[in-house]
Chains A and B, each alone.
Chain A
Amino acid sequence: MHALECLAVRHSMSYAQTHTPTMYRSFSDFVYSIGALPEMGFMTWFYLLTNPLRALKMFPVALNLAKRGRLSIKAKRMKPEAERQLKAILYKAEELGEMP
């Protein structure tokens, strides 16, 4: 099932109504850029890319989490040298191309 999902995402074969591939790509972009997933930033970015109005629908859930200190605005940042190391690894992986 997961293998099929991977193929669908990589070859853009999903049906038009789903935003799952966009979510997966947004997630991956964050990991590539900062090596972490800031939940608030990721969700905001995802809704901006897909349907900003849906973010309003999510507001009560987000508020409930924020009130309990569960929606952090600040992202976890790695040390600069660690971030550089991860970037070098991922850049190389990109250079090496797809899986054998």
Chain B
Amino acid sequence: MRYYTYFPGCSSAHGGAKAYDLSAQAVAQALDIELIELEDWNCCGSTPYTSVDELASYCCSARNLALAEKRGFELVTPCSACYVVLNRTNSALKEYPETKAKVDEALAAGDLKYHGTVKVRHLLDALANDFSRDQITSKVKVDIGGLKVAPYYGCQVVRPGPGFDHPEFPLSLDRLIESLGAEATPFPLKARCCGGSLIIPEEDLALELIYKLLSNASSNGAECIVTVCPLCQTNLDAYQGRINKKFKTSFNLPILFFTQLMGLAFGVENKALGLEKCVIPADKVLARYATK
């Protein structure tokens, strides 16, 4: 049994990416992992809080790190934004003593102290690198051979480097897909931005980016896209209808979390993976494979 402290993030815990949390838990169970949720965690602040008040955003993240430090396990999050923000806080506290002094003082106001020992990891890193190909393959119960999957990393999980994968041409998700028996299609834009939260205030800009991603995946033969980021999933899934209307296209690409694809291959029931939560249904594409 492997243990990780688990930081689901707002979107996966209670928001639009609940399926990510469900499928992550199901896959963890299959792989004999215990994801122990960090008790009383708070929002990481994401990009917006850093932009408005950098010190407060570091303090916000440092509270989570201090709580995680008491547990002693590595901190794993499925959310790319949480991963970046928590890691950035860790780096800032190590590299800038004056910042650390202020954060320490703020944490002390909440009777907390952070010594800087927590290693923050993305769930993709943990599942792709802590398990060998054979260990993953040995759990596969459903043959998804031939399923063409575009591996979409998004812009945050591999940047800023050096991280656990290459910032422009990452491969960890490709390899994971292949070890499940599916085919990772070429996807040159796999580490490009989907617009993120800018879909709210700058919709046209974000739709243009999403359109490019869907076109790129589709023209390379993908039957579905698999992603590691809650916001990317929502943007590519929920806005596909709007894209079709705006660009006069007919995309119908299911957007799955990588943990949903893993669960599917491991024979986990669809409901336990939250597959019914996809706006673009995955049933047609998956009909060729045994689904429960």
Contact = CB atoms under 8 A, between A and B. Distances in A.
A38 B52 CA distance: 19
Classify chain B's interface size: 35 or more
A19 B105 contact: no
A89 interface: yes
Contacts of A71: 16
B11 interface: yes
Name which of B18, B42, B106, B239 has the most chain A CB atoms within 10 A of its CB: B42
Nearest to A30: B43
A10 B52 contact: yes
A47 to B, nearest CB: 9
B15 A37 contact: yes
Contacts of B105: 92, 96
Interface stretch (B27-35, B95-103, B247-255, B259-267): B95-103
A30 to B, nearest CB: 8
A78 B42 contact: yes
Contacts of B60: 31, 86, 89-90
Interface string A77-100: 011001001101111111011111
Interface string B266-277: 000000000011
Interface residues of A, number: 54
A28 B201 contact: no
Contacts of B53: 28, 93-94
A6 interface: yes
A64 B102 contact: no
A55 B110 CA distance: 38
B48 A85 contact: no
B252 to A, nearest CB: 14
A86 B110 contact: yes
A65 B45 contact: no
A94 to B, nearest CB: 7
A61 interface: yes
Contact of A72 (B15, B47, B239): B15
B55 interface: yes
Interface string B41-58: 011011111111111100
B14 interface: yes
A75 B14 CA distance: 8
A90 B197 CA distance: 24
Name which of B50, B52, B197 has the most chain A CB atoms within 10 A of its CB: B52
B40 A79 contact: yes
A35 B160 CA distance: 26
A72 B99 CA distance: 36
